[in-house]
């Protein structure tokens, strides 16, 4: 496509006034509306924000490319804008953005915006063009720079294609003649990122540019949103000295069976192109072996991401799939507590909202475990992950009786156990006769993985947490209520340790038992305050330290205000699972302080649940709310200050 036809001069903003990401988006959307590119600002902006919620379009190196396609757009356009001071745009490298390309495409525009992104990405890998764009002061200069860059790229691409064709023919002829003299090293590569847009094409451009400098022939296949482009042929793969996979999503791997293969994140394709090419040409990467020569087994390649990067990616897969259950179920439960105060606990309206919310919550730990497992072991790990997570979410009778489930910590363990169980099963069964290949996914993997994971959960994980729960309960009972402040501090802190696991359940059960026996709600106040503080702390931190969180985390943080005041501690679980040290420690500190304050001030709440909605029942409602606020602010500030700035996303 011709990019210069999309860069309208009257849609350019040469001096962006905005100082924040939201203001920048608003200013660019307003400009589109003024020049008639869009006819509905709200619709287009909503789709821009929806795309930003998936992952930031701040691609790094001072560049942001927000984009959307909807019926508000009247014609395909690329709006260019620049900011002299730079704007914090949640960019993947954590640096301010100076150049902005907002892409608008009409609904049904045959992926014009994706093509524009691809073209822009491949051009913007050129530091000279980026530097010149930052210096440009007029719309005419910008168009001229892109005209020249596009013309140069088209000429170069055409020359490269002709060269590649000639080289391929020469290589074939030389191979047929048995001569290898004067042949350049030849490698093939595949680039792909989760959204299939910017990084896919930037990695392609970086690898090709570096290969040319090094005198290496290369062909790069892109797996982008437009589909597979420049698909590698069997002959090209066969001739290649080595293979480079620069991808953050799965690609077609079996075709590379028997080749030296470098498997790295897509960002390495952009930033470490020379290193990857050297590994491929010198055949220092391990030889890849596809399972049975027919199905990809990416774990065979040890040249991969770092251990922590892999663990973090697996965690994020579980958390992102769990988040809708947390938010949807939590909000409905919060609504049910509101209704309970006005229509009563036996109303069908209360029961409907409360039950549906609880049904959603019953999937939190199983979904977390299942999708951690899938990230590690692919689809065969879904079954053992779900079942292991379910076992962690239930107070099941195993070899040791327990009234408390293993909770989200047990769910995390279940996910990793299930995923790696399947990985090792694949390796253990790969030498079976090929006639049994069809039985692996439908019989062998499900039965064996379920048996192994179920046994580990039943005989090891659940019993360990059962013993922990029993010990905690015995300790609490031995304390009695002699020192109320210490006990309140302890109960409040325990509510934040594992947010549904043995510590949380032991504290809550102890308070419920005391309340049932004595009708004294003093300890209920401590556990209620302690349980409200973790999600409220998350909400505070994501509000006031925005630059340390992704867009998705900030959106989830907002919902934690509602979940927190509703005494739904589980709203903090996705954050605790992804960053346990900072979240749990800060939450425990604030929750312990809040719980202790309720006993210091003699607060009594004669209700087993309800959060702030049962404030009218408290004997000292203002002190009750103040304990929540103080604890939440302390936890939120500690977490916000302590949490490291977010890393660049791959």
Question: What single string gives the DSSP state of each residue in 132-173?
Answer: HHHH--SHHHHHHHHHHHHHHHHHHHHHHHHHHHHHHHHHHH
- Domain of 221 in residue numbering reads as 183-288
Give domain status of residue 647, yes or no. Answer: no
Q: How confident is the model at residue 98 (pLDDT cuts 50, 70, 90)?
A: very high
pLDDT on residue 2: 61
Give domain status of residue 138, yes or no. Answer: yes
Residues 440 and 568 in one domain: no
Q: What is the mean pLDDT of the chain?
A: 82
Residues 97 and 207 in one domain: no
Using alpha carbons, list the distances in angstroms from residue 579 to 232, 498, 619, 646.
40, 13, 37, 11
Residues 60 and 137 in one domain: yes
Q: How confident is the model at residue 267 (pLDDT cuts 50, 70, 90)?
A: confident
Using alpha carbons, list the distances in angstroms from residue 166 to 163, 172, 535.
5, 10, 62
Residues 541 and 447 in one domain: no
Q: Which of 66-80, 233-247, 397-411 has the highest mean pLDDT?
A: 233-247
Residues 372 and 229 in one domain: no
The helix/strand/coil state of 78 is strand
pLDDT on residue 406: 76
Give domain status of residue 591, yes or no. Answer: yes
Q: How confident is the model at residue 292 (pLDDT cuts 50, 70, 90)?
A: very low
Choosing from 113, 193, 582, 609, the catalytic residue is: 193
Which residues have a Cβ under 8 Å from the Cβ of 174 and sit 6 or more positions away? 180, 181, 183
pLDDT on residue 32: 95
Residues 378 and 263 in one domain: no
- Could you tell me the pTM of the whole model? 0.49
Angle subtended at Cα 375 by Cα 121 and Cα 367, rounded to the nearest 5 degrees? 120
The CATH code of the domain that includes 93 is: 3.40.930.10
| CB of 159 closer than 8 Å to CB of 226 | no
| CB of 619 closer than 8 Å to CB of 604 | yes
| CB of 377 closer than 8 Å to CB of 299 | no
Give domain status of residue 581, yes or no. Answer: yes
Give domain status of residue 570, yes or no. Answer: yes
| CB of 216 closer than 8 Å to CB of 277 | yes
Residues 320 and 457 in one domain: yes
Domain end residue (candidates: 465, 491, 520): 465
Residues 505 and 631 in one domain: yes
Q: Give dist(CA 394, CA 505) in Å, integer.
A: 12
| 193 is a catalytic site residue | yes
Question: What single string gives the DSSP state of each residue in 218-241?
Answer: EEEEEEETTEEESPPPHHHHHH-S
Half-sphere exposure of 483 (CA within 13 A, CB side): 8
| 67 is a catalytic site residue | yes
Give the pLDDT mean for 366-376: 89
Residues 384 and 235 in one domain: no
pLDDT on residue 173: 66
Give domain status of residue 299, yes or no. Answer: no
Percent of the chain with pLDDT over 70: 84
Give the pLDDT mean for 578-606: 92
Residues 266 and 354 in one domain: no
Per the structure, the count of domains in the chain is: 4
Residues 527 and 636 in one domain: yes
* pLDDT tens profile 64-81: 888 887 888 888 888 999
Poorest-pLDDT segment among 358-372, 377-391, 422-436: 422-436
Residues 226 and 138 in one domain: no
Sheet order of strands, 261-264 included:
227-229, 217-224, 186-192, 242-247, 261-264
Helix, strand, coil tally for the chain in percent (to 5):
65, 10, 25
Give domain status of residue 257, yes or no. Answer: yes
Give domain status of residue 648, yes or no. Answer: no
pLDDT, greater one: 208 or 124:
208
Which tokens go with 10?
A: 């009257």
Q: How confident is the model at residue 93 (pLDDT cuts 50, 70, 90)?
A: confident
């Amino acid at each position: 496509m011709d990019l210069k036809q999309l860069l309208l001069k009257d849609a350019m903003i040469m001096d962006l006034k905005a100082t924040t990401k939201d203001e920048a988006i608003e200013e660019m959307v307003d400009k589109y509306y003024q020049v008639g590119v869009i006819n509905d600002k709200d619709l287009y902006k909503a789709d821009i924000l929806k795309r930003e919620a998936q992952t930031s379009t701040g691609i790094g190196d001072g560049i942001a490319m927000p984009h959307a396609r909807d019926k508000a757009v009247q014609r395909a356009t690329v709006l260019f804008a620049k900011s002299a001071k730079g704007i914090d745009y949640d960019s993947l490298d954590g640096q301010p953005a100076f150049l902005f390309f907002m892409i608008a495409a009409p609904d049904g525009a045959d992926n014009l915006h994706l093509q524009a992104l691809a073209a822009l990405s491949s051009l913007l890998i050129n530091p000279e063009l980026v530097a010149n764009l930052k210096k440009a002061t007029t719309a005419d200069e910008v168009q001229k720079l892109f005209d020249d860059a596009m013309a140069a790229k088209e000429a170069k691409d055409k020359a490269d294609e002709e060269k590649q064709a000639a080289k391929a023919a020469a290589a074939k002829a030389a191979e047929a003649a048995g001569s290898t003299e004067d042949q350049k090293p030849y490698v093939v590569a595949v680039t792909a990122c989760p959204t299939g847009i910017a990084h896919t094409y930037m990695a392609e451009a970086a690898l090709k540019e570096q290969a040319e400098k090094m005198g290496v022939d290369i062909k790069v296949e892109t797996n982008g949103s437009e589909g597979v482009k420049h698909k590698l042929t069997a002959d090209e793969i066969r001739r290649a000295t080595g293979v480079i996979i620069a991808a953050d999503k799965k690609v077609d791997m079996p075709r590379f069976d028997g080749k030296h293969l470098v498997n790295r994140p897509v960002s390495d394709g952009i930033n470490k192109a020379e290193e990857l090419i050297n590994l491929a040409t010198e055949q220092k990467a391990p030889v890849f072996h596809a399972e049975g020569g027919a199905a990809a087994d990416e774990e065979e390649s040890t040249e991969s991401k770092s251990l922590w990067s892999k663990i973090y990616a697996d965690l994020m897969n579980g958390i992102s799939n769990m988040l809708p259950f947390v938010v949807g179920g939590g909000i409905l439960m919060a609504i049910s507590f509101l209704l309970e105060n006005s229509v009563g606990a036996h109303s069908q309206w209360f029961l409907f909202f409360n039950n549906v919310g609880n049904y959603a919550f019953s999937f939190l730990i199983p979904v977390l475990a299942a999708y951690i497992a899938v990230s590690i072991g692919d689809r065969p790990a879904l079954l053992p992950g779900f079942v292991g997570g379910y076992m962690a979410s239930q107070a099941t009778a195993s070899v040791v009786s327990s009234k408390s489930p293993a909770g989200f910590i047990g769910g995390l363990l279940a996910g990793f156990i299930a995923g790696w169980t399947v990985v090792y099963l694949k390796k253990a069964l790969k030498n079976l006769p090929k006639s049994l290949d069809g039985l692996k996914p439908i019989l062998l993997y499900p039965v064996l993985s379920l048996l192994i994971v179920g046994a580990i959960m039943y005989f090891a994980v659940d019993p360990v947490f059962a013993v922990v729960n029993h010990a905690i309960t015995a300790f609490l009972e031995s304390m009695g209520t002699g020192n109320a402040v210490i006990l309140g501090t302890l109960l409040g802190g325990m509510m934040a340790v594992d947010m549904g696991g043995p510590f949380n359940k032991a504290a809550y059960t102890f308070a419920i038992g005391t309340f049932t026996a004595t009708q004294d709600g003093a300890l209920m106040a401590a556990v209620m305050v302690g349980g409200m503080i973790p999600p409220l702390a998350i909400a505070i931190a994501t509000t006031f330290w925005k630059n340390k969180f992704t867009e998705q985390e900030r959106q989830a943080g907002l919902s934690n205000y509602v979940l927190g005041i509703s005494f739904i501690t589980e709203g903090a679980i996705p954050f605790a699972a992804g960053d346990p040290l900072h979240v749990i420690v800060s939450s425990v500190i604030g929750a312990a302080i809040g719980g202790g304050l309720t006993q210091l001030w003699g607060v009594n709440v004669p209700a087993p649940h309800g959060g702030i909605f049962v404030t009218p029942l408290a004997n000292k409602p203002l002190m009750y709310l103040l304990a929540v606020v103080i604890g939440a602010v302390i936890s939120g500030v500690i977490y916000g200050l302590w949490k490291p700035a977010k890393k660049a996303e791959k």
